[in-house]
Amino acid sequence: MNLTLDQIQDFKGKYPKQIWSLFFSEMWERFCFYGMRGMLVFFMISQLNLGEKEANLQYGATQAFVYAFTFVGGLFADKILGFRKSLFWGGILMIIGSLILALDPHQFFFLGISFTVVGTGFFKPNISTMVGKLYKKGDNRTDAGFSLFYAGINLGALLGGYLCIAIGKGELLSHLIPEGLHWNVAFGLAAVVMVISLVNFIFTQRRLGPIGLQPLKVLKNGELVSMEKWKEYGVYALSLLFIPMIMVMVAKTQYTDYFMYAVGPLTLLYLFYEMSKVSKSERSKLMAALIFILFSIIFWGIYEQSGGSLSIFAAHNLNNDLLGLDPNGVNNSGGAFFILLVAIPIGLLWIWLSKKKLEPNTIIKFGLGFIFLGLGFYAIFATQFFANAAGVTSLSLFTIALFIITLGEMCLSPIGLSIMTKLSTQKLQGMMMGMWFLASAYGQYVAGLIGANMATAREDASNIEKLHAYTSGYKELGLYAVIAGVILILISPLVKKLMQEVR
Ligand code: GLN
């Protein structure tokens, strides 16, 4: 069955059926990624005997690199590999990385992690781009599709984030796993699910028709021929060369700073170079995409407090008045849980509003995303009014705040993926998706700086002082988010103009 693009895109109902294949592959990839991410800091401290600060810095470095390499992965997909081969290559690197960790996590920790970093760079942006390809330009079901896909992301994140660390620590299945092998099994599980992700893709990819195939080379006479093999192997070789480089940079975290200073400006220059080669109308759409990308850095910088300062806040300042749950557990997985709850209804809401001609356009959705984010942080601020004399406040209230933040995430993150595919030119799809995630790398980076700032100022303070210091910090962040949202809504006519027919 060789489907054409039109046959795929002319689907009936709410979702194209191919989306399920991408949903499951991405779900397992996120399981592997978040499983590993959840283990990093704990493993570095308890098994590699790193200090807390060092472990956190190295964790931050891996997160920055992981999202920075999505740009490289997207770029090579556009130019040489195509999305499918990139996804395979990335998946294979992730499997190798997890296997190395499963074999001997103590000895080869940074080697394994570096394989995973580069692998994610090739996998993550390109699977998202393929989701966009399932839709015709202007199909108002696209955002709903990305919402569904986002539910898959979070299902994987929730399962992986919970299971891997629980197995590693010996809290789960410990009677089945020989003593001393818990970590090997936990990392091994990441490898197994990544194999499932790729096998699922191998068996379902034929239904993708021409989507994601390797780009053809245009000869001077206009003839199309296949890409030279040496270029493809060159990309594979080059990506292997990145691995020792990442190992060095993660181990010496000041290199991460230099890397972050350099990579953003360089990618911007490269984008401007590519923009000089396209038509005026395409250029203006790319400019709009860049505005979304730049704003998303602010969003993630605030949002990603969850991995940093909010985990300290949860540990010191929250009780367990919500079903006796552990506050850190709620902080770590509450967001993913709420996404699973609201992703599909929100997607369907977009379709319903669009039928009534009431669907807000992307820029307004982004603005709403910021406003929800801001309100969520105000709600965290408000928890201080419910604290006892020891500076401990209500987890239930905090959970409501988390829910509001999740609504913000749903208005921005899947919509961002969707708009990247709509605003990019045909030949820059992977690269622009990579840039979208690169903004996340900067967001993580900024989040670390904000968090460190909030933490160090009050190290010797009492718990109640800490509560006030943190919550007033969150109030400030809430204010910035609301301001960013209002600015977005105010500049919406300008961005709309840049976006032209895209909504
Ligand atoms: N949580 C989402 C994912 O893992 C978004 C990540 C991001 O862009 N920072 O895909």
CATH of the domain at 23: 1.20.1250.20
Which tens digit of pLDDT belongs to each residue from 441-472? 999 888 888 887 876 655 678 889 889 989 99
How distant, in Å, are the alpha carbons of 59, 141, 189, 335 from that of 244?
Answer: 17, 43, 24, 34
Q: Say whether both 297 and 389 belong to one domain.
A: yes
Of 228, 251, 274, the residue that ends a domain is 251
Is the domain of 245 the same as that of 272? no
pLDDT number for residue 369: 98
Domain count, the chain: 2
In a domain, 258, yes or no: no
Span 77-87, pLDDT tens digits: 999 999 999 99
Pocket test for ligand 1, best of 36, 440, 445 (most atoms within 8 A of CB): 440
- How many residues comprise the chain? 503
The gap between the terminal CA atoms of the chain, to the nearest Å, is 33
- DSSP, collapsed to helix, strand or coil, labels residue 80 as helix
- Burial class of 341 by CB neighbour count within 10 A (0 to 12, 13 to 18, 19+): middle
Relative to the CA of 440, which ligand 1 atom is closest? 9
Q: Which domain holds residue 376?
A: 266-503
Q: How far is residue 387 from each of residues 330, 331, 407, 459, measured CA to CA in Å?
A: 18, 18, 26, 20
Per the domain annotation, does 407 fall within a domain?
yes
Contact 208, 18 (CB under 8 A): yes
**Helix axes 52-76 and 229-251, enclosed angle (nearest 10):** 170
Residue 7's pLDDT is: 95
Residue 40 CA to residue 186 CA, distance in Å, equals 12
d(CA 23, CA 415): 16
Q: What is the DSSP string of 218-230?
A: EPTTS-EEPPPHH
Residue 300 CB less than 6 A away from ligand 1: yes
Query: If you measure from the C-alpha of residue 399 to the centroid of ligand 1, how many angstroms do you get, rounded to a whole number?
Result: 20
Q: Atom 10 in ligand 1: which residue has the minimum CA distance?
A: 153
Which pLDDT belongs to residue 457?
Answer: 55
461 and 319 in one domain? Answer: yes
Q: Does residue 150 share a domain with residue 113?
A: yes
Say yes or no: 319 and 212 in one domain.
no
Q: What is the Cα–Cα distance from 366 to 346, expressed in whole angstroms? A: 14
Q: Tell me, yes or no, whether 143 and 285 share the same domain.
A: no
The torsion of the CA quartet 457, 485, 71, 453, rounded to 10 degrees, works out to 0
Q: Is residue 188 part of a domain?
A: yes
Residue 257 is assigned to a structural domain of this protein: no
Whether ligand 1 lies within 6 angstroms of the CB of 417 is answered as no
Q: How do the pLDDT tens digits run along the chain, 503 residues long?
A: 689 999 999 999 999 999 999 999 999 999 999 999 889 888 999 999 988 778 888 888 898 899 999 999 999 999 999 999 999 999 999 999 999 999 999 999 999 999 999 999 999 999 999 999 999 999 999 999 999 999 999 999 999 988 999 999 988 888 898 888 999 999 999 999 999 999 999 999 999 999 999 999 888 888 899 999 999 999 999 999 999 999 998 888 888 889 999 999 999 999 999 999 999 999 999 999 999 999 999 999 999 988 778 888 888 899 888 998 888 888 888 999 999 999 999 999 999 999 999 999 999 999 999 999 999 999 999 999 999 999 999 999 999 999 999 999 999 999 999 999 999 999 999 999 999 999 999 998 888 888 878 766 556 788 898 899 899 999 999 999 999 999 999 999 999 999 999 88
User: What residues pair up with 365 in beta bridges, in sequence order?
Assistant: none
Looking at the domain assignment, is residue 11 inside a domain? Answer: no
409 and 481 together in one domain: yes
User: What predicted TM-score, i.e. pTM, was given to this entire model?
Assistant: 0.94
Q: Does residue 8's CB lie within 6 angstroms of at least one atom of ligand 1? A: no
Task: Identify the residue whose tokens are 């040489």.
Answer: 80
Helix axis angle, 280-303 to 492-499, nearest 10°: 130
Does residue 446 lie in a domain region? yes
- The pLDDT score that the predictor gives to residue 1 is 64
Shared domain check, 271 and 236: no
User: What is the pLDDT at residue 448?
Assistant: 81
User: Who's near 220: CB < 8 A, 6+ residues apart?
Assistant: none
Residue 153 near ligand 1, beta carbon < 6 Å: yes
Contacts of 228 (CB under 8 A, 6+ apart): 217
Ligand 1 geometric centre to CA of 29 (Å): 12
The residue out of 227, 251, 275 marking a domain boundary is 251
Does residue 450 lie in a domain region? Answer: yes
For residues 237 and 226, give the distance between their C-alpha atoms in angstroms, rounded to a whole number: 20
Last residue of a domain, one of 251, 284, 310: 251
Helices (DSSP H) in 170-181: which residue ranges? none
Domain shared by 244 and 373, yes or no: no
Neighbours of 264 (CB within 10 A): 19
Backbone φ and ψ of 20, nearest 5° = -70, -35
In this structure, what DSSP letter does residue 216 have? P
Both 162 and 58 in a single domain? yes
Are residues 98 and 143 both part of a single domain? yes
How many angstroms separate the alpha carbon of residue 263 from the centre of ligand 1?
20
Map residue 393 onto helix, strand or coil.
Answer: strand
Is 259 within a domain? no
Same domain, 498 and 416: yes
